């Protein structure tokens, strides 16, 4: 069954601007879905609507069976805690180690001791295993700001996985990276989807990257879906 169900999803911001109109998409375990579209086409708005951060109306909008429109604050907190978010600018704490940055990904679900900075041995071991998974076992104690952009983004992905997410939302995760590093980040997201079954929605503005690393695509223009399908059907003008 799908992890994300969006049916006739629309978002109109307070200023009256409609950023997304009648957006329909199901995302199943193990899929990488690329969101394509120019700046301002509604890609970030979709990701925010999924976690209740944008004002959504829909026939249905649910994550892992939880309805988002009308959900109370506690329910939205739980949905955000089970959604891994990866940003364009990584959003690591620069002066903290890679390991500590990964550990903070578990804070949503952690108890008061963890919030005070005392992580359990099990949490540390899990964070170290995730750093190994993203190819950074040897960088656990390196400060985040000493790492390359591609390495920082892989730490950010490990941090998202520390949440034990049922869905990963990656908002332009490679827009700040050169093409070689972009490939290392996107192949990692693909591995997470295909090996762990965690679906990934990734916004991209390079069609060729979608073709290489995603399974399906949805192209947006001014908040509306213009094309969608398997990436094999992508053409340059989408
Ligand atoms: P993308 O991620 O594709 O660049 P966005 O989802 O950020 O697009 O934005 C879609 C449209 O919604 C743009 O026209 C943007 O200016 C507008 N928008 C985004 N956030 C807000 C907001 N909080 N209030 C009003 N308009 C917004
Ligand atoms: P970047 O510029 O690196 O894309 P920002 O720091 O500007 O990232 O954040 C992008 C937006 O994502 C912010 O407006 C923030 O409110 C939103 N955001 C933060 N956490 C989440 C989340 N869990 N789900 C969806 N959106 C989020």
Tokens 């990701």 belong to residue: 47
Q: Which of 52, 1, 46, 7 is nearest to 28 (CA)?
A: 1
Give the mean pLDDT of 163-175. 96
ipTM of the complex: 0.77
Task: Please tell me the predicted confidence (pLDDT) of residue 179.
Answer: 86
Query: What is the percentage of the chain residues whose pLDDT exceeds 90?
Result: 89
Confidence of residue 118 (pLDDT cuts 50, 70, 90): confident
> Has residue 115 got a pLDDT over 60?
no
**Residue 21 CB contacts under 8 Å (≥ 6 apart), including other chains:** 10, 223, 224
> What is the distance in A from the centroid of ligand 1 to the CA of 214?
24
CA angle 27, 19, 9 (to 5 degrees): 40
Task: Give mean pLDDT, residues 175-179.
Answer: 92
Ligand 2 pocket check for 88: Cβ under 6 Å: yes
User: What does the pLDDT read at residue 39?
Assistant: 94
Report the candidate in 81, 163, 78 with the shortest Cα–Cα distance to residue 126.
Answer: 163
Predicted TM-score (pTM) of this structure: 0.90
19 lines ligand 1 (CB under 6 A): yes
What pLDDT is stored for residue 107 in this prediction? 73
User: Does ligand 1 lie within 6 Å of residue 41's CB atom?
Assistant: yes
Distance 87 CA to ligand 2 centre (A): 7
Ligand 1 probe mutation, 17, 220, 224, 225, most atoms within 8 A of CB: 17
User: Please, what is the Cα angle at 52 between 19 and 107, to 5 degrees?
Assistant: 135
The residue contributing the CA closest to ligand 1 atom 24 is 13
- Render pLDDT for 202-219 as a digit per residue (tens, 0 to 9): 999 899 999 999 999 999
Please state the separation of Cα 175 from the chain's center in Å. Answer: 14
Q: In 3D, which of 160, 120, 152, 119 has the Cα closest to residue 136?
A: 152
CA of 111 to the centre of ligand 1 (A): 35
- Whether ligand 2 lies within 6 angstroms of the CB of 222 is answered as no
- Does residue 109 register a pLDDT over 70? no
Closest ligand 2 atom to 171 CA:
4
* Ligand positioned closest to the Cα atom of 44: 1
pLDDT in tens, 13-27: 999 999 999 999 999
Q: Average pLDDT, stretch 83-90? A: 94
């Amino acid at each position: 069954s799908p992890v994300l169900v969006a049916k006739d999803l629309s978002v109109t911001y307070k200023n009256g601007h409609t950023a997304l109109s009648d957006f329909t998409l199901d995302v199943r375990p193990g899929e990488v879905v690329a969101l394509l579209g120019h700046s301002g086409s509604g890609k970030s708005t979709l990701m925010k609507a999924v976690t209740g951060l944008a004002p959504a109306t829909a026939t249905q909008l649910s994550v892992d069976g939880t309805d988002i429109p009308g959900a109370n604050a506690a329910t939205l907190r739980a949905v955000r805690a089970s959604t891994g978010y990866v940003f364009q600018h990584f959003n690591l704490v620069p002066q903290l180690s890679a390991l500590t940055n990964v550990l903070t990904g578990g804070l949503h679900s952690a108890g008061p001791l963890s919030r005070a900075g005392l992580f359990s041995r099990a949490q540390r071991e899990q964070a170290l295993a995730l750093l190994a998974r993203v190819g950074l076992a040897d960088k656990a104690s390196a400060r985040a700001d000493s790492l390359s952009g591609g390495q920082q983004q892989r730490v950010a992905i490990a941090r998202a996985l520390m949440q034990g997410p049922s869905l990963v939302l990656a908002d332009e995760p490679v827009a700040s990276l050169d093409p070689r590093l972009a490939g290392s980040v996107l192949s990692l997201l693909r591995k997470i989807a295909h090996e762990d079954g965690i679906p990934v929605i990734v916004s991209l503005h390079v069609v060729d990257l979608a073709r290489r690393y995603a399974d399906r695509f949805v192209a947006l223009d001014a908040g509306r879906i213009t094309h969608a399908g398997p990436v094999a059907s992508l053409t340059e003008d989408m």
